[in-house]
Amino acid sequence: MSVNVAVVGVTGAVGQEFLNVLAERNFPIKNLKLLASVRSAGKKIDFKGTTYTVEELTKDSFQGVDIALFSAGGSISKEFGPIAVQAGAIVVDNSSAFRMKDGIPLVVPEVNPEAIKKHAGLIANPNCSTIIMNVPVWPLYRANRVRRVIVSTYQAVSGAGAWGLWELDEQIKAYANGQPIVKNKFPHQIVNNLFSHNSKVGENGYNEEETKMVNETRKIFGDPKIMVTATCVRVPVPRAHSESINIEFEKPMTPEQVREILKKAPGVRIVDDPATNHFPMPLEASGQDLVLVGRIRQDISREDGRGIEIFVAGDQIRKGAATNAIQIAERLV
């Protein structure tokens, strides 16, 4: 069955990746509508051999649309998401606008695909760091309930948007040429540096990115008691987030058991070769949809055998955003 699809925010980094993934996965599109701000209206974009004109996003944009893929920021989603639903579309939204709203499914298809059926027109795509963590942790959780997760992230600059890539590139050029390093949108120099994730810090000391990982994981897993604590860091890497994850299980768990479970887990590829010191890297995770998992080892600080350490890398623009949303759309079709 072919469907009418609208892509909102099509000129952004994730919007462009929506088109790449739709084409790669041969998504059954009957009619395609490309939507963006008035500044981008009129631009020409090629998709599978056809040239499309970007249209201005308005309240009348969703007539006849079956599925609307949103990646244009929370304020746009809040304004136009309900309008799209009212027009008869099912919205898959990549912003944080609806993630923690009661009655709106928050979905990682490898984890909780059954939640898709409970939608009332809106489905939320989780935060990229949450998705990359949840894909490998969930199959382990199913085998042996996870009580606690301690995660530290190493997040690529493109997670901040296309401007993050531009700023890193400009600072690299300036450093190479011995010129002054100019900060534009990032609060600190990013070349030859790293810093705490550039999101607002709350009264409890956790920034917004860290809080998302805590709350979203509980909702996706359907487990309000799972303990999650996160430290999120921005690093001078163009693309793909990496995460160091310490997992506490209800019962003892061995690295061998973890490997056997993850070998069969959807969305995961094990990259774990101590002999050559080859483990997950953002360079190898970029441009693909699998989450790479390695450094699988026992937590030697525990004597009860219930702790496991892993290191993961995943493309936050693809699996952390565009691909996850399109996997949801595929299940809707």
Spatial CA neighbour of 311 closest among 300, 290, 296: 296
pLDDT tens digits for range 76-106: 999 999 999 999 999 999 999 999 999 999 9
User: Which runs of consecutive H residues, i.e. helices, occur in 195-269?
Assistant: 208-221, 255-263
CATH of the domain at 271: 3.30.360.10
329 alpha carbon, distance to own chain's centre:
15
The model's confidence at residue 129, banded by pLDDT at 50, 70 and 90, is very high
The 3-state DSSP composition of the chain as helix, strand, coil percent (nearest 5) reads: 35, 25, 40
Do 22 and 40 lie in a common domain? yes
Give the residue-averaged pLDDT of 279-291. Answer: 97
In angstroms, the CA 168 to CA 152 distance is 22
The model's confidence at residue 44, banded by pLDDT at 50, 70 and 90, is very high
Predicted confidence at residue 51, as pLDDT, reads: 97
Give the residue-averaged pLDDT of 207-230. Answer: 98
Give the residue-averaged pLDDT of 200-217. Answer: 97
Q: What percent of the chain has pLDDT over 70?
A: 100
Determine how β-strand 268-270 pairs with β-strand 291-298: parallel
Do 206 and 66 lie in a common domain? no
Do 139 and 284 lie in a common domain? yes
Label residues 53-83 b or e (16+ Cβ within 10 Å = b). Answer: ebbebeeebbeebbbbbbbbbbebbeebbeb
Q: 227 pLDDT exceeds 90?
A: yes
Do 246 and 297 lie in a common domain? yes
In the chain, the number of structural domains is 2
Give the residue-averaged pLDDT of 241-268. Answer: 98
CATH of the domain at 33: 3.40.50.720
Do 112 and 217 lie in a common domain? no
Please identify which of the residues 119, 128, 197, 232 carries the catalytic annotation. 128
Q: What is the mean pLDDT of the chain?
A: 97
Edge-to-edge strands of the sheet including 241-249? 195-196, 227-234, 146-155, 241-249, 307-314, 291-298, 268-270
Do 100 and 172 lie in a common domain? no
Do 70 and 177 lie in a common domain? no
Helices (H) and strands (E) in the chain, counts: 8, 15
Label residues 174-200 b or e (16+ Cβ within 10 Å = b). Answer: eeeeeeeeeeeebeebbbeeeeebbbe
CB neighbours (10 Å) of residue 214? 17
Do 147 and 251 lie in a common domain? yes
Do 158 and 76 lie in a common domain? no
Predicted confidence at residue 1, as pLDDT, reads: 83
pTM of the model: 0.96
Predicted confidence at residue 162, as pLDDT, reads: 85
The model's confidence at residue 161, banded by pLDDT at 50, 70 and 90, is confident
pLDDT tens digits for range 130-139: 999 999 999 9
Predicted confidence at residue 266, as pLDDT, reads: 98
Please identify which of the residues 119, 197, 232, 241 carries the catalytic annotation. 241
Is residue 128 flagged as an active site residue?
A: yes
Do 39 and 153 lie in a common domain? no
Do 307 and 169 lie in a common domain? yes
- Domain extent at residue 35: 3-125+321-332
In angstroms, the CA 102 to CA 122 distance is 11
Do 83 and 169 lie in a common domain? no
Spatial CA neighbour of 327 closest among 27, 72, 101, 6: 27
